[in-house]
Structure 1
C-alpha cells in the first residue's frame, strides 16, 4: 500500500475510510488475536510452573547430596589430641565402632640443601649441567655416606647456559625441568642463596652432580652428593614413623589414608611415647536437623506441585509429568531406603517418624525420630546419606531424562510455543493482506465518488447558467 493512497483515503467521499478499514480488520481478527494471546499467557504460565517443579526437584536432590558430601551427616573419627594428630573422614566413607591407638614417633621430612651466599642473585654464576637424581640417602651423623637411586626414576640433567647462568636463572631452570625437586632463591641481609627442596619421604632424597663449562666456571658450588657436599644440608629426607596399636609402620608423607579404613590421619608433630586415642562421634544433632529440613523442603515442593496441578485453577492440572512427579514423591516415605537393614532396624522415612498428611504434605514425629537415633543411629545415618540421596537422584533422573515425563511435558510446551508463533505470524500476514485489499478497494470507491461529485458540480453550474439566460 503506498503512502499517497493512505493519505488521500476519504478525500472524495468525506468518510474516514482509514478508521473504517481498521474497524473492519479488528472485527475480522480481534477474536482470534484475543484467543491467541490468552493461549500464549497460559502456555507461559505452564512453562514457568514446570520449570519451577524441575528446579525444585533437582535442587532438593542436589542440596541433600551437598549436605552428605560435606560429611556433617556421617559419623566422624575423633582424636584425643589434635595438637599431635588430626583425623578426618575420607570422601564417601562410612565408619562405625572405630577404636585405635596411634603414636606419632617421627614426622616425614623433605631433604633441603642450600648454597653459599652471593651478593647479586642476577649476576653470572656459571655454566654447565646439573644432574639431579632421586633416591634414598644414608647418613653418618649429618654426612651423606650412601645413596641408592630410586627404582624407576630417571636422573634429570639441567643445562645451564646463557640466560640461565645466574642464581635466579638456575632456580628457574631447575623448576622448569620438573626433576622432583623445587628451587628458590632466599635473600636476606647477608646476600642471596639457592635453596633446593625435595618431596617428603626417605626415597625422595636427591643428589646434584655438576659438570662445569670450563669457560664459565662456578656451578661446582652447587654440588651435593656422597663425595662432595659443597651445598649445605639443612634437613634430611625421612619417612613418618607411626605406631598403630603398637605396630610401627613407615609412610612417606604426613597425611596417611591407608592405615584405618575410611579415615585420614594428619600428623601434626612427633611425640614419641604418647598414645593418641581415635574414636568416633555420631552426628545425632545433624541427622535430626537434616530430617526436619528434608520434611520442610519436601513440603515446599509438594505445595507448589499441588497448587499448579489443582483441578480448578492449576495451570498444570492436565500435565502428566507434574502428576507423575507428585506420585513418585508421595511414595517416598514408604520407599525402602536401607535394603540391608537387619530385623528391627529402620529402612524407611516412615520408620523415622516422617508421616504423610491427607493433603500430601509431611509431618515429623520428633519423639519417634529421637528413638530411632538412640537405638539405631548408624541405620538412620545410612538412610539419609545413602538411601535417600540415591532415591532422590533416581526420581530426578527418571523424571528429567530425555524420555522422562517432565522432559516430555516441556517438549510438548516447546512445540506448542512454535505452533502459536506460526499462528501469530499467519494472523499478522492475513491482517496485512486484508488491510492492503480494503485500502485499495476504498481508494477506488473514493476516486469514483470524487468523479461523481465533479460531474454533479459541472451540471449544477450549467443548469444555473441556463436559468439565467432564460
Structure 2
C-alpha cells in the first residue's frame, strides 16, 4: 500500500472515530453532553424541592386545622347556641332574647306600663286614589306632639317632597314612603268617605310630625296641596294615634325606650314588648343550657383528636413530611399540656380554672377524651361561671384556645409551626434560585460545546475534502 492509501485510511479512521461525515447532529450532541453534565446535580435539587413542597403543604394544612378549630369554636359561641335560655312568666307581655356571646344571670321583675306608639294621621277624603293632589312642596317636620303643641326636633332636617301637577294621592303616598326612608310610611285607604291618605311615623315620642304643604293654588280643598296641611293646634280629627315611648319597670326601676325593642338591659339581654301588665309584674329569668355546653365540649374534643391524628401522620419519624420538624415537635408538646390551659384566670376556689376542669383529658397515646366527672361537677357547682366561660370575652374557652392557636401558628416565631412554614418557603426560594443557576450553567455549556463541535466538524470536513482531492489528483495510475 502506498503513502496516499495510508493517508486516506488514516483520515477515514479519524472521521469514523469522531462520527463526522455520518450525519451527526452537532447541536443535539452538545445538548446531550450538557444535560448529562448537570443531570445529577439538577435531579438532586429537584428532589429537594419536592420534599420542601411536601413539608410546606403538611405544615400549612396543620396550621389551617388548628386555626379552623379555633374559628369553629368561636362560631359555635357567637351563634347563640350556648346563650342562657330566657323565660318570662307572662309570655304575652314580652319576649326576651340573649345576643350571642353574652351571659345574663339571675331573674328580674317586669312591669310594662306603656308600649311605644307611632303617630298616625288620616287626611281628608278625595274622590279616589287617582285624584290629583296639586303641585307644590310637602314639608314634613319631626318632633314631639304634646296636646295642641308641637316641639320640633332641631337636630333633624325637615323632609321636603316635591309634588308635581301629575301626582295623584297614590303616587304621593309612594313618594312619602320612599323619600322619608322609613321615617313615615304612607298608603291610600278607600273608606266610606272616599280615598284618604294614611301616614304613620316611627315609634317613639320624638317621632311625631306635622304636615306643612306649600301649594300653587292657595285654596285648602282637594286638588290643592294645601288641603293636606296638619298641625296639632288645628287638628280636626286627623290625628288617630299619638307617638309615645315605651315605659317599663324592671326591678322597681322605671325605664323608657323609644321603641318596643328595649336594649341595654342587665347582662345584655333584649326585650321585645308586646303588651302591658300594669299592676301585675311578671318575672324574667335565665337558665344555662348544660346539655349544649356538654355537646360543644364533646365536639371540641373530637376536633382535637382530628388534629392529633393529623399531627401523628405528618410528624411520624419514618415517612412523615415533618418527622424532624421543630415546629411539629413544639406543637405536640403544647397539645400534651392542653388540659392545663387556663380559661378562667380569676377563678375563685372551687371554680373551674383550666380546660381539664371542664373535662378535657389526655390519654397516654396523645389523644384526647372528655371526662364527664369534672365537667358535670363544674356545671352543678358553678353553672353561671361555666356559662360565662363560653362567651366571646377576653377570657373563657374560646379566648384561651384562640390565643393557643395563634401562638402555635405564628409566622414570626421560628419555634412554631408558622416558623417552620416560613423556613421551608425561604429554602424553596433558594432551591428555585439554584435550579435557575444550574439551567444558566447548562445552557452556557451547551452553547460552548455546540460552537466547538461545529467548528471541529468543519475542520474535519475540510480535511476530508483535502484527502479526496489528493487521492483524485495524485494517486498512482494503472499503467495498463
Give the TM bin, normalised by the shorter chain. 0.7 to 0.9
RMSD of aligned alpha carbons = 3.3
**What is the distance in 1 between the residues matched to 2:59 and 2:191?**
69
Q: Using the alignment, how far apart are the partners of 2:446 and 2:131 within structure 1?
A: 84
1:3 corresponds to: none
Alignment of structure 1 residues 20-419 onto 2, 5 Å? 20-96=29-105, 98-115=106-123, 116-117=125-126, 119=128, 121=130, 123=132, 125-138=134-147, 146-149=148-151, 152-154=154-156, 156=158, 158=160, 160=162, 162=164, 166-167=168-169, 170-171=172-173, 174=176, 178=180, 181-186=183-188, 193-214=196-217, 218-229=224-235, 232-245=238-251, 249-270=255-276, 272=278, 275-385=281-391, 386-401=395-410, 403-404=412-413, 405-419=416-430
1:266-299 Cα offsets, whole Å, 9 max, x none, are 1133455654332222211111111111111112
Alignment partners' CA distance in 2, 1:231 and 1:468: 146
Distance 1:336 1:87 in 2: 33
List alignment gaps of at least 5 residues for structure 2: 1-17
User: Any idea what SS the aligned residue of 2:37 has?
Assistant: helix
1:456 corresponding residue in structure 2:
467
SS of aligned partner of 1:86: strand
**Alpha-carbon distance between aligned partners in 1 of 2:339 and 2:166, rounded to the nearest angstrom:** 69
Q: CA deviation at 1:13?
A: 4.1
Contact 2:186–2:199 (Cα < 8 Å) also in 1: yes
Matched with 1:467 is 477
Query: Equivalent residue of 1:136, what SS?
Result: strand
1:211 Cα deviation from its structure 2 partner: 3.5
Instruction: Please identify, of 286-295 and 310-319, the stretch whose mean Cα deviation from structure 2 is larger.
Output: 310-319
State the TM-score, normalizing by the size of structure 1.
0.84
Cα deviation code 1:91-115 (max 9, x no counterpart) = 443223x222323444212112233
Q: CA deviation at 1:164?
A: 8.5
Is the Cα–Cα contact under 8 Å of residues 134 and 215 in structure 2 kept in the other structure?
A: no
Following TM superposition, by how much is the alpha carbon of 1:222 offset from its aligned partner in structure 2, in angstroms? Answer: 1.5
Other structure's SS at 1:197 match:
strand
Deviates more, 1:216-225 or 1:267-276: 267-276
- The answer (yes or no) to whether the contact 2:120–2:242 under 8 Å persists in 1 is yes
Encode CA deviations 1:36-81: one digit per residue, 9 max, x unaligned.
1111111111111121122112111111111111222232322234
Distance 1:136 1:259, change over 3 A: farther
- Residues 424-450 of structure 1 show CA distances to partners (whole Å, capped at 9, x for unaligned) of 221222222222222222222222332
Q: Residues of 2 paired with 1:159 and 1:265: CA distance?
A: 36
Which stretch shows the higher mean deviation, 426-435 or 123-132?
Answer: 123-132
Q: Give the direction of change, closer, same or farther, for the CA distance of 1:318–1:392 in structure 2 (3 Å limit).
A: same
Report the counterpart of residue 9 of structure 2 in structure 1.
none
Number of the residue aligned with 1:445: 456
CA deviations over 1:237-280 (Å, ceiling 9, x no partner) = 22224343566644321111234442211113345565433222
Secondary structure at 1:258's aligned position in 2? coil
Q: Which moved more, 1:174-183 or 1:399-408?
A: 174-183
TM-score between the two structures when normalised by the length of structure 2 = 0.82
Inter-partner Cα distance in structure 2 for 1:43 and 1:94: 47
Q: Which runs of 5+ in 1 are unaligned?
A: 1-8, 139-145
Contact conserved, 1:184 with 1:194, CA < 8 A, in 2? yes
Contact 1:102–1:275 (Cα < 8 Å) also in 2? yes
Separation in structure 2 between the aligned mates of residue 348 and residue 447 of structure 1, nearest angstrom: 85
Tell me by how many angstroms 1:179 deviates.
9.1
Does residue 1:431 correspond to 2:442, yes or no?
yes
Q: How many residues align?
A: 453
For 2:59, what is the secondary structure of its paired residue?
Answer: helix
Distance in 2 between the 1:188 and 1:320 partners?
A: 80
Q: CA deviation at 1:463?
A: 6.2
Checking the alignment, whether the CA contact within 8 Å between 1:223 and 1:231 is kept in structure 2 is no
